[in-house]
Copies of this chain bind each other. A is one copy, B any other.
Amino acid sequence: MANIKEIARMAGVSVTTVSRVLNNHPYVSEVKRTAVLNTIEKLNYTRNMNAVHLITGRTQAIAVIIPYTNLFYFSVIIAGLAQEALLAQYRLVLCQTDYRTEEEIKVLEMLRNKEIDGVVMVSSTMSSEAIEEYTAYGPIVVCQDRGERQFSSVYIEHYSAFRSGLQYLNDKGYRHIGYCEGRPHGSSSSIRQIAFRDFLEATDQPYNDEWMIYNCLTEEDGARVLHQLLQMKNRPDALIISAGDHIAAGLIIEAWKKGIRIPEDLAVIGFDDQPIGRTLGLTTVDNQLTEMGISAFRIIYDQIQRNDGQPVHRKLEYRIIERNTV
Contact = CB atoms under 8 A, between A and B. Distances in A.
Interface of A: 46-54, 59, 61, 63-64, 68-70, 75-76, 78-79, 82-83, 85-86, 91-98, 103, 110, 112-115, 218-220, 222-223, 246, 249-250, 253-254, 256, 275-276, 278-280
Given A79-B69, A94-B82, A98-B86, A249 B220 contact: no
B96 A93 contact: no
A112 B44 CA distance: 12
Contacts of A53: 50
A250 to B, nearest CB: 5
Contacts of A96: 79, 82-83, 85-86, 92
Contacts of A69: 69, 75, 78-79, 82
Contacts of A114: 48-50
A220 B275 CA distance: 7
B79 A68 contact: yes
Question: Can you tell how many copies of this chain the complex includes?
Answer: 2
A61 B253 CA distance: 42
A49 B113 contact: yes
Interface centre among A50, A249, A254, by most chain B C-beta atoms within 10 angstroms, is: A50
Given A69-B78, A249-B276, 5 more contacts: A46-B112, A61-B93, A78-B94, A92-B94, A220-B275
Given A78-B70, A115-B50, A256 B254 contact: no
B222 A279 contact: yes
A275 to B, nearest CB: 4
A70 B289 CA distance: 12
A222 B79 CA distance: 22
A272 to B, nearest CB: 12
